[in-house]
Structure 1
Amino acid sequence: MHYTNKSEGPSMRPGPTGTGGAVALDIEAINLVEPPDLDFQSPDHWSVFCVPLGHRPAGDTNVQTRVLFRRGSTACDELELIERVTDWIRERNPDRIVTYNGASYDFPILRHRAGVTAHECPGSHTAGTDLELVLDAVEHTDLFREVKEDAGYNVPLDSALDYHDIPTPDVQLDGEEVSGADMPDLGLRMLAGDATDHERAAVKEYAESDVEPLFRLLDSLSE
């Protein structure tokens, strides 16, 4: 795969040779707007605090997962996270990126935040361009759309996994099950440096549980 700037010709050296296959991506975000004005589909209502990623090389059945965390609360910290996400994908040279509702949620937020943080963080940054080069060069498989086409209606990820008999762990924190609704508050605690080791571990486990099953769902939908 060779990443090029479509409007200006080659402007970005390809990353190290990877092993192809598929990369799965999800994001965990903090809402910047409070309900009832919060809009799940508005990229400017969200800020990214961690990105779980998975890679299954071509011809392999093993999945490598990694959760990349934002290292602080500033715009520069968020920009640096997006740069690490871009590098992680590029280094693996995947044939496709797999998401669940990435076309409407994950990708628009990453693109928007790359532009916003590059503007707010002092200095000259190419994070937005680099991210676009990677996302534009790699085939995107949005499993949400495939599941919706089969079902005829919007299907949450948990329901899709249940239907295809794909188990996921129940992540617990202080005796309570962790859900996506807990992520914004936990993210804020992490960025403020107030999160406990147990909270950080729960976020990591929950984030991984959102991305690793996407490979099994991809396989099930391909049968």
Structure 2
Amino acid sequence: MGIVAQPGARFGLDSPPDAPVITSAVDGGDQDSAVISITGTDTIRLFYRLLNAASFTTGLTRIGSGDITQTGLTAGQWYEFYCKADAEPGLSDPSNLVTLLILASTATIETAIYSLLSGDPTLSGLVGTRIDPLLVPQGTAMPAVTYMQIPSRRDDTLGGPTGLVQSRWQFNCWASTTAGARTVANALRQAISGYSGRGTGVVIQAIMAPDQEIDISANPAGKNVARRYGKSLDFTIWFCETP
């Protein structure tokens, strides 16, 4: 009598299964999920975590190639995903690692800027989520980043507004030393200069390199509060405004 193999079963093999491949990762469109497309065999198990979190959470599974729709995610946050094949004699090597932003229900240029900055591994490795509009909140550790809009203009024609905005933004990179501020400024410039796309929920046509960069400093109010040193960079951001 023959043996009927179940899906994912492997016989007579001493090596683990081949690693699967994540071919795409897209936002689920419901502020809660991501759709991860995978090529592979056997039972495939997904793992995910918030960007730069300490450990991964075990997610959903499927058998063979196809999509896994992972739910329970938080809108406005970046996640990292990878997967492994699970079959005798054990788990495969991990697949490629992919990063995805879970889009909020309403995206603005401000939320898009935050998403770009917080989603860059180098910059977020330096400042974490210490990225705030206008001012550094009291008690915030260093280094940190603040951003603000400065004089901008909307594109108009005889037929009315085109929806295209030429906006200028000032990014202030703060640290406890001038060298630290320079490191953060370099990471920020590399993170967004030349970017174009719609992955943040806003159609950004282009982010132009800084046309101004200066040294700044701040002496926060309060006894025994250390002076902050900073670099200020001005960028031009062309984006499409939602009516």
Q: TM-score band (shorter)?
A: under 0.3
Instruction: Specify which structure has the higher proportion of strand.
Output: 2
Which has the larger Rg?
2
Instruction: Using CA pairs under 8 Å that are at least 6 residues apart, name the structure with larger relative contact order, 1 or 2.
Output: 1
TM-score (norm 2): 0.22
Give the number of the structure whose residues are more often helix, by fraction.
1
